[in-house]
Amino acid sequence: MKSLLLSAVFLPLHHIAIAQKMNSSTPPSFDLPKDSLIDLAQQTLEFQYPEFIFDTSEYEITAWANTEKTLVRYRRIIRFTPLRKKEDNLTYDFEVNLTEQSISPFDSWGMDSFYIPTPEDQEKINFVIQAFGMPRMGFNNSIIEEVDMYRINIDNDLAFGHYFIDKASGQECMGSIEGSYAQMPDFPEPIDTDPLVEIHE
């Protein structure tokens, strides 16, 4: 009984300690390296959403800060849309606000629309990765499942590519479309006096 009581007390105190650390007057980004901020984000996720289990290797994880807040962002490297969810408005990315101890979009919208691959979906993703050589670094990578093929979209701010591979053989079909975006003219932008700055180390 004594050990159960200690465990029950430890978790809230541990969470409070994290919150106090992140709410200090000096932004944690200036005190802690990137890896430590990511560790704190993982602890926050595990405490607030213990049922959410994910593979960190499938996300690009970055840390950002300004004088008011510190964020850890998780961007899905390959976005997969299964055939059964083509009409759904799926979300793939999330971020942990270490200063406010909040997690977006889960705190506001829940996890119903957040995509977590089933084992069958993961087999399909792995198939496309092997057949097409994904991900393409420096680009957004997405796979959309069709009845008899996969549509692959790759793009960044400068260029794009649309490809199609057969669902059974993994061979390209229907050709491909590649191109670059026209350079937009430079327009004056409002000056952000407190921009978020990425923490690299």
| Average pLDDT along the chain, 201 residues, taken 10 residues at a time | 38 46 46 93 97 96 96 98 96 97 97 96 97 95 98 96 97 93 83 93 88
The Cα–Cα gap between 23 and 110 comes to: 24
For the chain, the first-to-last Cα distance in angstroms comes to 44
The Cα–Cα gap between 58 and 30 comes to: 27
The Cα–Cα gap between 31 and 3 comes to: 34
Residue 119, exposed/middle/buried by CB under 10 A (0-12, 13-18, 19+)?
A: exposed
Q: What is the pTM of this model?
A: 0.82
pLDDT at 13: 40
pLDDT at 176: 93
In this structure, CATH architecture of domain 117-185? Roll (3.10)
pLDDT at 189: 82
Return the domain boundaries, the chain: 1-115, 117-185
Provide the pairing of β-strand 102-104 with 94-97: antiparallel
